[in-house]
Structure 1
């Protein structure tokens, strides 16, 4: 593909077919087996909307306002090529419809954990990094915001531990032609545990023209999904329950899925 000089979309289509699959076929019927599933969304536009629990990161927003930028700066199109969200089918159907009252939920998805961006060969990596940094920071802040609300709602402070905070992270993957890099965004908190921005760290990068690098690519993608469905999903469920319980919504004490 590199030798043939194929365009960005050719590389993106190949990657989404073989490494970034969409999971199950689309269906309006929701499985009730309560298993955590990832739902891949392509070029989904989600500008912040406070009434829908999709909040603007305050540090970035404050900096923009002080610089004379309009307060609706984050309404611009932060549209990643590909992103993985938790499917709402992992939540109990008795209160699944209530998730939208404490966390951002769009139709059948909530709480994204992986964002992917493609750029054509020869384009600066910084272009792809800036886009996933913006989309990832937005997703990360709202995941942290849900945790902060759960901490305030919890009747016992010990219910929310440092381990819960450590799970709050967002992964990104950038492709520039045949080269790829995995990144992770984690919140930076002040002494009182309040949001003070976030950091983006490079995890691993390589060239798709190398056979061993391709195996690493597949392993990293699988590991991120494993973490998303075995740790991130249950963590989101726990925090949502804490917030819903304060509002009088009855939820089960543990996840009842198989």
Structure 2
């Protein structure tokens, strides 16, 4: 880790044009929409960032996955080892798992969201996750890609700065949102127009609220591939600038690899990431 998108009926060629335009601007990413969260952790390792990496995978060529194939646990998305590798140190705390209902108005067929490294203070209040990951499915690739493009556009319009990135050859966008802008938080965007969650969890709701506050600012990576979108958010208090970009792109490679459906057509081998220049912001 916000109003629903008005659905369009333009042909795919029109959507592709939008995607190409956003690619040139470095603004292609993943989408989000919310509900209410619950559970925990998986495994692998990421590679070094390459500022000269070039996107080679067309998001329209990605796999089409049914909502039923979305991860059932957070451990099938990221493991403790993954988090330690990405952040350079163990990330302790609770994990929340959220399974959200479909949203036909925007073509969303399913969504799962995991919050990792949730701390609890002496009063029992849950803190912001060190990283929040959402994997979302849509009824068709054009919906997913269009959703991502619209999310990037609307978030930038509210003050975020967009940086182009490449995740394992897939075009993505990293959004940097300044501190003290709760209304613009990517976590809030991820919850927009969510409707009723499929698997409510009071504990997960609390952590989702904490993440949505955005009091300290966040850095978020968004990516579309086939009919799936990916949203990975970390607070600026955990990492910022190039450090945050590297953590996000490395985690995105792992999330993509762990959740790629069997026989998925999109490439998922070597980790390749573009590290935007934080000075641009």
Higher share in helix: 1
Higher relative contact order (CA 8 A, sep 6+): 2
Same topology, TM > 0.5: no
TM-score between both structures, scaled by the size of structure 2: 0.24
